[in-house]
Amino acid sequence: MSKTIIVGGGIIGLASAYFLRKKGLDVILIDKGEPGAECSSGNMGWVCPSLSDPVPAPGLVKTSLKWMLKRDSPLYIKPSVVPSLSPWLLQFWKYCSEDAYQLGFKAGLELSKDTLRLYDELEQENGLTFEMHRKGLLFVCLKENYIEEKMESYRIVEEFGLPSPVSKTKHEVLQMEPALSDAVAGGIYLPAERHVRPESLTLALTEWLKVNGTEIMSLTEVKGFIQEGDQIIAANIGEKTIEGDQFLITAGAWAGKVLNQAGIQVPMTAGKGYSLTISSPSVQFRQPLYLGDSRVTISPFHDSVRIGGTMELSGLNTDLDQRRIEGLRNSAAQYLRLPVLGKEKAWCGMRPMTPDGLPVLGRITGYTNLFIASGHAMSGISMALSTGSAMSELISSGKSEIDLKPFAPDRFKTQHSNDKKSKVTV
């Protein structure tokens, strides 16, 4: 039977493994740590097809230049990484045009069109239980003009079968969410959106995969590949090699580094985000909230509340900057009647970021059996099932129902050093 080696056990690797197993393929999933422990753990868990718009957006160049050196702003760029990051940043700023934004939004919506159905089906899967809420999503803001702007930009979701966003007055918003303070000017309600407890989802998938015959190799770092002609034949894990028929790289923010080991360049960087999870909280929330002007978000779970957000470009590292946690707390305080008290756990994770804000999905040009699915930025939980489903189709049959052209790995002119005649160990 055909065997797929998956490198990276975050939500994208786990979802891909799930769909490949459902198709009857053998799968080995390798992670340098524990599956689900990196960016796929402490995030906000939103499953929001309507929010499939790319990070680079019109107006962001000006705003990001204003924010970039301020540690508690929504986007902080560490000055010491600017020289090494500048090729990525220049491309990113190039994609902050209206045209690129609209194209990216449509591609994201197309990729996400089956998301809710796929989550419904996953919930029905035998032996797979996770925390999922169907409460919609409430955008709130302190300035009224923000509502008009957002209403305008999210109208496009109707074309993709999603319900229209509903504008809400200040009075309506306060009725919907009594925890909000009088400072709030109004909001927008997106009724179809959901949220999951991401840790419960990755744990459920990991357990399901183990029970259903997937080999999971934790604490195992892929350090290179063995190549023969236009094929990868094995992953190098130090003292051993792991052979397979197909190789899928789902290493999130590390995907660029992993592919570099085979001489392939994909412009992937880390967009670090932070969250604060408060157990047995003093304040209860009725639905997830997007605190618009500050770009901070709140997710209520069964036993806790999570406040999260911010984007820090500081390279590949998981150093937790306490000042940014304070920034989250201060932003939330502007919108809430009372502070949320309880047992706190601070967390940070690296969103995998490409310059155009879209994931990289597909087969690597020049190789017959090397694939990538990484770069989901703010939407990895939301897009995981549609990505996993599409990648399983591509790997098992050579094509996928969803058009993956907008996500092509070579759209950034991927270079590779694939000498077809030689056998190379990298």
Ligand X SMILES: Cc1cc2nc3c(=O)[nH]c(=O)nc-3n(C[C@H](O)[C@H](O)[C@H](O)COP(=O)(O)OP(=O)(O)OC[C@H]3O[C@@H](n4cnc5c(N)ncnc54)[C@H](O)[C@@H]3O)c2cc1C
Q: Does 251 engage in binding with ligand X (CB under 6 A)?
A: yes
Q: Does 136 engage in binding with ligand X (CB under 6 A)?
A: no
Positions 337 through 356 that interact with ligand X (CB under 6 A): 349, 351-352
Q: Does 357 engage in binding with ligand X (CB under 6 A)?
A: no
Q: Does 122 engage in binding with ligand X (CB under 6 A)?
A: no
Q: Which stretch binds ligand X (CB under 6 A): 3-11, 82-90, 131-139, 164-172?
A: 3-11
**DSSP-assigned letters across all residues of 249-277:** E--GGGHHHHHHTTT-----EEEEEEEEE
Nearest distance from C-beta of residue 220 to ligand X, angstroms:
6
HSE of 156 in the Cβ direction (CA atoms, 13 Å)? 20
Question: At 387, is the secondary structure helix, strand, or coil?
Answer: helix
Helix and strand numbers (H, E) in the chain are 11, 22
Which C-beta is closer to ligand X: that of 204 or that of 381?
381
Burial class (CB in 10 A: 0-12, 13-18, 19+), 163: middle
**Tokens matching residue 304:** 């806790």
- The closest alpha carbon to 50, from 166, 176, 186, belongs to 166
Nearest distance from C-beta of residue 312 to ligand X, angstroms:
9
Q: Does 39 engage in binding with ligand X (CB under 6 A)?
A: yes
Query: Which position among 4, 5, 6, 9 is part of the footprint of ligand X (CB under 6 A)?
Result: 9
Query: Which position among 133, 376, 395, 418 is part of the footprint of ligand X (CB under 6 A)?
Result: 376
Nearest distance from C-beta of residue 86 to ligand X, angstroms:
23
Question: What is the rounded CA–CA span in Å between residue 330 and residue 307?
Answer: 11
Q: Which residue has the tokens 């056990």?
A: 9
Q: Please compute Rg for the chain using Cα positions.
A: 21
Question: By CB under 6 A, how many residues form the interface with ligand X?
Answer: 42
Query: Which position among 115, 304, 374, 414 is part of the footprint of ligand X (CB under 6 A)?
Result: 374
Question: What is the rounded CA–CA span in Å between residue 36 and residue 48?
Answer: 20
Query: Which position among 22, 24, 33, 279 is part of the footprint of ligand X (CB under 6 A)?
Result: 33
Residues that bind ligand X (CB under 6 A): 7-13, 30-33, 37-40, 43-46, 221-222, 250-254, 258, 273-275, 308, 349, 351-352, 374, 376-382
